[in-house]
Amino acid sequence: MASRIRALIFDLDNTLLDFVEAKLKACRAVIECLGLNEDEHELLNYFLRGVHGFEDVRNIADYMKDRGVYCEEKFGECCEIYERVKLESIEPYPGVGETLERLKKMGLKLAVVTDAMNGHAVGRLKKAGILHYFDVVVSSDMTGKRKPEPDSIILALNRLGVKAEEAVIVGDSLRRDIEAGKRLGMVTVYASYGDRNFFEEKRGSADFVIESVEELLKILNLHSTRMSEL
């Protein structure tokens, strides 16, 4: 870590925002709408199958069909409920706003790089009240590639005007965030508090591991101290 840190790039879901908790509340609302006596994890498991994708509402259709309650009108109603409750339930993790404020005051550039679609990403950041902290928001639909492919991260670095070795990447996935950052030569920070990657094999290691977002400030202070000693 010989370069001065000029920017931080954050993953969004389960790094800045407790997205799985919001998703569980949305699944609960759908199940209640259908009048079924099931746990919300039953519907969540459909999103986790890898058949349609983690955010594809066709998972709701499959869930309904398997229980014999599918019709087009009810499906449309469930989709509306799902998206509305999910967004309403979005909350940042404790300390996120305060930490971002401190980082901006330190003169650092901030970006979000997410596999969510751009409209969803911006909507979630607005709901959490933290959109204004970020200089750049890059989503997978802007590059056509999802992490750990580096395209979205490279786009964010270019828009921030910094080199990879001058940036920190912070994420909850060792495979998608940390692996991608390491390939580019970035400082990597694993947000272990948000890792709810249910079926992801936990391989690899980051330069730093944090259990709360506030710990980023200690890491940056440590890096600055090391730099001053060189």
The class (CATH top level) of 7-18+92-229 is alpha beta
* Mean pLDDT in residue range 181-194: 95
What's residue 230's pLDDT? 43
Statement: the pTM of the whole predicted model exceeds 0.85: yes
Q: Kindly give the residue spans of alpha helices, DSSP state H, lying in the chain.
A: 19-34, 40-47, 58-66, 72-88, 96-105, 118-128, 151-160, 179-184, 215-229
* pLDDT tens, residue by residue, 86-138: 999 999 999 999 999 999 999 999 999 999 999 999 999 999 999 999 999 99
Residue 228: pLDDT band (50, 70, 90) is very low
- Partners of residue 110 on adjacent β-strands: 8
> Cα-flanking dihedrals φ and ψ of residue 127, to 5°?
-60, -40
pLDDT(8) > 80? yes
Residue 197: pLDDT band (50, 70, 90) is low
Half-sphere exposure of 72 (CA within 13 A, CB side): 0
> Cα-flanking dihedrals φ and ψ of residue 171, to 5°?
-160, 165
The two most distant CA atoms of the chain are separated, in Å, by 67
* pLDDT tens, residue by residue, 171-185: 999 989 999 999 999
Using a pLDDT cut of 90, give the percent of the chain over it. Answer: 83
- Mean per-residue pLDDT over the chain, rounded: 92
Residue 161: pLDDT band (50, 70, 90) is very high
Residue 229: pLDDT band (50, 70, 90) is very low
What's residue 204's pLDDT? 65
Close Cβ partners of 92 (under 8 Å, ≥ 6 residues apart): 16, 17, 18, 128, 129, 130
